Amino acid sequence: MSRAVRANIDAFVNNLHLGSDILKGLVAEKGLIIIGAEYCFDTGAVNFIE
């Protein structure tokens, strides 16, 4: 995976964690886990990034 794609995924996940009080509450109180993923158009594979 290119570094630019990985950086974009990491930034998006971080923004979800920090940008929403609702999501913050669900993470803290209900155990919601937010992770990033990359979809490969060629193979249909999804690579989850934790």
Cα–Cα dist 25/9, whole Å? 22
The SS3 assignment for 28 reads helix
Per residue in 1-50, pLDDT (tens digit) is 689 999 999 999 999 988 889 999 999 999 999 999 999 999 999 999 97
How many Cα atoms within 13 Å fall on the side-chain side of residue 14?
6
pLDDT at 12: 93
This prediction has a pTM of: 0.73
Distance, C-alpha 11 to centroid of its chain = 8
Q: Alpha helices of the chain — where are they, by DSSP H?
A: 3-19, 21-25
The SS3 assignment for 33 reads coil
